[in-house]
Homo-oligomer: A and B are copies of this chain.
Amino acid sequence: MIQTPYLLFLGDAPDQLAAKVAQGIRDWRPEYALGQYRMDGCKADMKLPDMNLAEAHAASARTLVIGVANRGGVISKKWKEVLHTALEQGFDIASGLHNLLRDEHDLVETAQRHGRTLHDVRVPSVQYPIANGVKRTGKRCLAVGTDCSVGKMYTALAMDKEMRDRGLKASFRATGQTGILITGDGVPLDAVIADFMAGSVEYLTPDNDADHWDLIEGQGSLFHVSYSGVTMALIHGGQPDALILCHEPTRDHMRGLPGYQLPSLEALRDTALNLAKVANPACQVVGISVNTQHMGDEEATAYLAEVEARMGLPAVDPFRHGAGRLVDALAAI
């Protein structure tokens, strides 16, 4: 568990996109985003107060989150001075970079000397159990996609926010690096050992109040041959009561797999639901989330109407139109 609130480290980000982890925290957990730390030449801006380490610590920030990805995912020498000073001044550091904090011996040494923690959220910190399949209390919703990177995390975060805004009991359950940094907790599922994948999802979504919903961040796709095993473990470990289908309609092949076509929403519905019923016979597909970022307003509206009529399920782009109708659909089951 990463201590909040955060000071967001933007380093020398070459553009706004390079700081998308910081943007995710800013968008979804603004209460954690106390301020930003920018170095000379930083081209990203979260519209947060610029703070130095001492100011942020005085304002109660306890973790410096590396909110920026360098090309190559490395911890640059330029950053090191700030990171050492942060540890000395009482900050933990959290990072989702490929280049692990724990592999930088100088940082480990400084952290040990000052009793601080280095959080590498790419690496599991828990010995997960093997899944036991026992039915858990509370309800769970899982976003599944026709492909990778179609908006599954965004959909779950938007539904979580909408539910909490309505005063409903909900928890976003992170299964990837960005999600873990946003919420401060979760399972880095793609780094878990095969035998323990489904067990790690059970661990992430334990027994809860009967009217509480876990909004589980999806990973991969049952139709993406590189990562389908991870998706499968989410479906069986998560034992979802509800599935949301996620889709990006302008893509001409599966991400990273030229020659592989995206499945239809019907194929995703039937395949995912069939498998989900193994772990939870009551599971239902309740709605469709479409990422229409590459469509104009009219085109998007027409597409969503067509999908909604064809599938008989609410179809929305939560970024354009909010997640309200998806939450309505959840509340109805």
Contact = CB atoms under 8 A, between A and B. Distances in A.
Interface of A: 130-134, 189-195, 197-199, 222-223, 225-233, 235-237, 239, 256-257, 259-260, 263, 271, 274-275, 278-279
Contact of A195 (B130, B190, B259): B190
A233 B229 contact: yes
Nearest to A226: B131
**How many copies, total?**
2
Contacts of A229: 194, 197-198, 229-233, 236
Contact of A222 (B198, B230, B275): B275
A194 B226 CA distance: 10
Given A133-B226, A226-B131, A260-B133, A190 B198 contact: no
A275 B134 CA distance: 26
Given A133-B260, A271-B275, A228 B191 contact: no
A193 B191 contact: yes
Contacts of A237: 225
Given A229-B232, A237-B225, A278-B223, A191 B190 contact: no
A228 B198 contact: yes
A225 B194 contact: no
A276 B34 CA distance: 48
Interface centre among A132, A189, A229 (most CB of B within 10 A): A229
A295 to B, nearest CB: 26
A219 to B, nearest CB: 9
Nearest to A237: B225
Given A131-B226, A189-B194, 20 more contacts: A131-B225, A132-B257, A133-B226, A191-B193, A191-B195, A194-B197, A195-B226, A195-B230, A197-B229, A199-B226, A222-B275, A225-B236, A225-B237, A225-B239, A225-B278, A228-B236, A228-B275, A229-B232, A263-B278, A271-B274
Nearest to A260: B133
Contact of A190 (B194, B222, B225, B236): B194
A235 B232 CA distance: 12
Nearest to A223: B278
A227 B189 CA distance: 14
What are the 10 tightest A-B residue pairs by CB atom distance, in nearest-first order?
A229-B233, A225-B236, A232-B232, A229-B229, A190-B195, A131-B226, A133-B225, A229-B232, A197-B229, A133-B257
A319 to B, nearest CB: 27
A40 to B, nearest CB: 36
Contacts of A233: 194, 228-229
Contacts of A271: 274-275
23 contacts: A131-B225, A133-B225, A133-B260, A189-B194, A190-B194, A192-B193, A193-B193, A194-B194, A194-B197, A194-B230, A195-B227, A198-B227, A222-B232, A223-B278, A225-B278, A228-B232, A228-B235, A229-B229, A229-B230, A229-B233, A231-B232, A260-B278, A263-B278
